[in-house]
Amino acid sequence: MKTADLTGLPPGVPERLESEGIEELYPPQAEAVEAGIMEGESLVASVPTASGKTLIAELAMLSAVERERGGKALYIVPLRALASEKKAEFERWEEYGISVGVSTGNYESSGEWLASRDVIVATSEKVDSLVRNGAPWISELSCVVADEVHLVDDGHRGPTLEVTLAKLRRINPDLQVIALSATVGNADEVAEWLDAGLVRSDWRPIDLKTGVHYGNAINFDDGSQREVPVESGERQTAALVNDTLDEGGSSLVFVNSRRNAEAAAKRLAGVTDRALTRGERNDLAELAEEIRGVSDAETSDALARVVAKGAAFHHAGLAPRHRSLVEGAFRDRLIKVVCATPTLAAGVNTPSRRVIVRDWRRYDGEFGGMKPLNVLEVHQMCGRAGRPGLDPYGEAVLLAKDADTMDELFERYVWAEPEAVRSKLAAEPAMRTHLLATVASGFANSREGILEFLERTLYATQTDGRARLEQVTDAVLDYLEVNGFVEREGGSIAATGIGHTVSRLYLDPMSAAEIIDGLRAVDGDPTPLGLYHLVCRTPDMYQLYLKSGDRETYTELCYERESELLGSVPSEFDDVAFEDWLAALKTAKLLEDWASEVSEDRITDRYGVGPGDVRGKVETAEWLLGAAEQLAGELDLGTSVAVREAKKRVEYGVCEELLDLAGVRGVGRKRARRLYEAGVESRADLREADKSVILAALRGRKKTAERILENVGRRDPSMDDVDADAAAGGTTTGGRPGESRGGGEDGEGQASLGDFR
pLDDT (0 to 100) of residue 648: 97
DSSP states of 656-690? GGGHHHHTSTTTHHHHHHHHHHTT--SHHHHHHS-
Separation between Cα atoms, residue 250 and residue 338, nearest integer Å: 9
Report CA-CA distances (Å) from 103 to 112, 162, 414, 427: 11, 19, 38, 28
pLDDT single digits (tens) 253-275: 999 999 999 999 999 999 999 99
Which carries the bigger pLDDT value, residue 356 or residue 734? 356
DSSP states of 517-566? HHHHT--SSPPHHHHHHHHHTSTTS-PPPP-TTHHHHHHHHHHHTGGGSS
pLDDT (0 to 100) of residue 396: 97
Classified as helix, coil or strand, 503 is: helix
Strands (E), 354-441: 354-357, 361-364, 369-372, 394-399
Q: Could you tell me the sign of the dihedral formed by the alpha carbons of 748, 751, 752, 753, in that order? A: positive
What average pLDDT does range 486-507 have in this prediction? Answer: 95
What average pLDDT does range 425-452 have in this prediction? Answer: 93
- Residue 214 has φ and ψ, to the nearest 5°, of -145, 135
pLDDT single digits (tens) 531-553: 999 999 999 999 999 998 999 99
Instruction: Answer yes or no: is pLDDT of 225 > 90.
Output: yes
Torsion of CA 375, 27, 195, 345, to 10 degrees: 30
Query: What b/e sequence results for 398-428 when a residue is b if at least 16 CB atoms lie within 10 Å of its CB, and e otherwise?
Result: bbbeeeebbebbbebbbebebbebebbbbee
- What is the dotted CATH code of the domain comprising 428-504? 1.10.10.10
- Residue 311 has φ and ψ, to the nearest 5°, of -120, 170
- What is the dotted CATH code of the domain comprising 208-414? 3.40.50.300
Q: Could you tell me the sign of the dihedral formed by the alpha carbons of 635, 636, 637, 642, in that order? A: positive
**Cα 602 from chain centroid?**
24
Instruction: Answer yes or no: is pLDDT of 501 > 90.
Output: yes
- According to DSSP, the β-strands at 141-146 and 119-123 are unpaired
The closest of 33, 31, 41, 379 to 200, measured between CA atoms, is 31
Classified as helix, coil or strand, 75 is: strand
The answer to whether 586 touches 550, Cβ cutoff 8 Å, is yes
Question: So where are the chain's domains?
Answer: 3-200, 208-414, 428-504, 509-655, 669-735
Model confidence at 144, in pLDDT bands (50, 70, 90)?
A: very high
- What is the dotted CATH code of the domain comprising 3-200? 3.40.50.300
DSSP 8-state assignment for residue 717:
-
pLDDT (0 to 100) of residue 347: 60
- Percent of the chain scoring above 90 in pLDDT: 80
pLDDT (0 to 100) of residue 743: 36
pTM of the model: 0.89
Model confidence at 345, in pLDDT bands (50, 70, 90)?
A: low
pLDDT (0 to 100) of residue 107: 64
- In terms of Cβ atoms closer than 10 Å to its own Cβ (0-12, 13-18, 19+), residue 676 is buried
pLDDT single digits (tens) 15-51: 999 999 999 999 999 999 999 999 999 999 999 887 8
Domain 208-414 matches domain 428-504 at the CATH topology level: no
- What is the dotted CATH code of the domain comprising 509-655? 1.10.3380.30
Separation between Cα atoms, residue 681 and residue 510, nearest integer Å: 41
Mean of pLDDT over the chain? 91
Separation between Cα atoms, residue 670 and residue 32, nearest integer Å: 53
pLDDT single digits (tens) 456-476: 999 998 987 788 888 989 999
What average pLDDT does range 676-704 have in this prediction? Answer: 93
Separation between Cα atoms, residue 527 and residue 317, nearest integer Å: 29
